[in-house]
Amino acid sequence: MMAKKLVKSSAIVFSAAGRCSVPAIVWSLAAWVLLIHAYTILFPAKTTVTEPETALKRLPMYKKLEEIEDMALDWTRKRAKNGHSTPKHRPRRNSAIDDFLNVSSPRRSIYFPDSSLAIDPLRRDATDKYFYPGRVWHDTEASPIQAHGGAVLYIPQTRTYYWYGENKDGRTFQAYKRATARVDVIGVSCYSSKDLLSWKNEGIVLAAEKNNKTHDLYTGNVLERPKVIYNDRTQQFVMWMHIDDANYTKAFVGVAASSSPIGPFHYITGGRPHGFDSRDMTLFKDDDGQAYLVYSSEENSVLHIGVLTDDYLDLKRVVRKMLVGQHREAPAVFKYRGLYYMITSGCTGWAPNTALVHSAESMFGPWDTLGNPCVGGNEDFRRTTFFSQGTFVLSLPGLHDMFIFMADRWNPHNLSDSRYVWLPLTMDGPADEPLEDDFEFPLWSRVSIHWHKKWKLPEGWDSLLSLQRS
C-alpha cells in the first residue's frame, strides 16, 4: 500500500482522461529543448547589444536625473482645441537645438543657469568638491573664468594645473550681416589650481596686438583653441593656436613660447601647416616626448595629423589624413593602455551637435569610429554632447581609468557668458561587439562621457598621486 501510494502521488495529471509518468515527461522536455536549440542554430535571431546608456538607466541616480531632464526639456507639439495635432502647414515646433539657440526660450535657465548659482570658491563650503557643468564658474577673485576652447597642463614638480583658453570678455557682434558671432581678440588667459576646483587668475599670458593691423594677433582677427605643452629638452612652454581673419579665410596656426607656465608668451610665427588651411586644432604630446598637431583642414572636410619638430616650434614634413570627407572638428586626443583615442565634433558653428569617438593603434591611424560616447541624461542631451563642444581630454595623475572631458557650452548671443561643461570620461572595459565588416573584436575600450548635474572626483584621488611619487 505504501509503494502504491508513492507511485500514485508522483503521477502528474494532465487531464481527466489519463496520466503520464515522470520519465516520459523528462524525455519529452529534453526533445523540446533539442528542437528549440536546433531551430536557433538554423534561424539565428539578431543579437541586441545593450547600449551603455541603457545599462546606466538601471541605476537609480541616472533614472532620477533623466526624469528631471525629461520634465524640464519638453518639446512636444501642442494640440489644437479639437484634440488634433497642429496642422503640418503651420510653423513646425522647435527642435532641441533651435530651442537652445533661442535667447527667448523659456528653458534658457536650464542651458545657462542664473549667475546667482555660480561656482564661487570664496563662498563654497570646504566639503563642496563638486563640479557643476553649465554654471558660471568664478575664479578666486570672484570673476567669471575666461578660458574658452582651451586645455589644462599639469606640472608634476609643483603639482599644479594650468588652464589656458580664449579670453572672450568683450562685446559679441557680427562683422557683417551674415557673419558668425565674434569677439575681438583679447588674448589667451591662464589660471592655476592645485585641486581643479579653485582657479587663480594668472592674467593674460599672450595679449592681442592693438595697433599693427598686419599682425596675426591683431584685435580684429580671430584667436581660438590655444593649447600648451612643455618641451623637456628645451625647457620651454610652447603654445599653438588657430589664427584667422574676421572672415575665416586666413586659416593659420600660430606658435608662441615662454620659459614660464604663466608667461608672458612671445609670439613667434604663423602660417598654413603643410601648405593647407587649418582651423580647429589641438596638440598631443606622447609618452616618448613626440608631439603632434591635429587640425581640421580642406574646408573642414578632413583632419590632418602632423609631427612637431624636436623643439615643438615647427612641423616636420610628414602629414597624414583621417576621417576624409566626414567634416569633423574640435579634436581632443588622449591615450589609454597604449592606444590612441580622439573625440571630435561636427561642423555646425556655435550650435551643438553629436560627438564621435575614434581610436587607433598609432597616431597615424588607421582611425576607426566607435560612435557617440555620451551617456546619461536624455536623448537630446546625448545627441548634442550635452549642448556643448569638446575642447580637451584631461588625464588625471593617479587615476588610470578616468579622465575629464572638457567642453564649452557656447552662447552665441553673448560669447563671454559661454559656460564650461566638465564631465567624467571613463574607460568601461573592452568593447562588446565587433566593428562593421570585421569578424574580430577591437582592441580598444568603450569610451563613456557621463552626464551629471553635479559630480566630484573619487575621494582621495589626489593622494594617490602623492603615494606614486613617494
pLDDT at 291: 98
| Whether the Cβ atoms of residue 170 and residue 204 lie closer than 8 Å to each other | no
461: left (phi over 0), alpha (psi -120 to 50) or beta: alpha
pLDDT at 325: 97
Q: C-alpha angle 153/158/163, rounded to 5°?
A: 25
pLDDT at 51: 38
Instruction: List the strands of the sheet with 302-308, edge to edge.
Output: 281-285, 291-297, 302-308, 315-322
Q: How far apart are CA 88 and CA 427, in angstroms?
A: 44
Instruction: List the strands of the sheet with 328-336, edge to edge.
Output: 328-336, 339-346, 356-360, 368-371
Residue 436, CA atoms < 13 Å, CB-side half-sphere:
4
| Whether the Cβ atoms of residue 284 and residue 238 lie closer than 8 Å to each other | no
Strands 315-322 and 236-244: unpaired
Residue 462 has a CB neighbour count (10 Å cut-off) of: 17
Q: Is residue 458 classed as helix, strand or coil in its secondary structure?
A: coil
Sorted by sequence, the CB contacts under 8 Å of residue 154 that are 6+ apart come out as: 160, 161, 162, 394, 395, 397
Q: How far apart are CA 8 and CA 27, in angstroms?
A: 20
Q: How far apart are CA 393 and CA 284, in angstroms?
A: 10
Q: What share of the chain is helix, strand, coil (3-state, %, to 5)?
A: 15, 35, 45
Q: C-alpha angle 430/433/435, rounded to 5°?
A: 105
pTM value? 0.80
Tell me the pLDDT of the chain (470 aa) as tens digits: 433 333 333 332 333 334 445 565 556 666 665 666 555 544 444 333 333 333 333 334 334 334 434 434 444 434 434 444 333 333 344 589 999 999 999 999 999 999 999 999 988 887 889 999 999 999 999 999 999 999 999 999 999 999 999 999 999 999 888 889 999 999 999 999 999 999 999 999 999 999 999 999 999 999 999 999 999 999 999 999 999 999 999 999 999 999 999 999 999 999 999 999 999 999 999 999 999 999 999 999 999 999 999 999 999 999 999 999 999 999 999 999 999 999 999 999 999 999 999 999 999 999 999 999 999 989 999 999 999 999 999 999 888 889 999 999 999 999 999 999 999 999 986 655 555 545 454 577 889 999 999 999 988 777 655 444 43
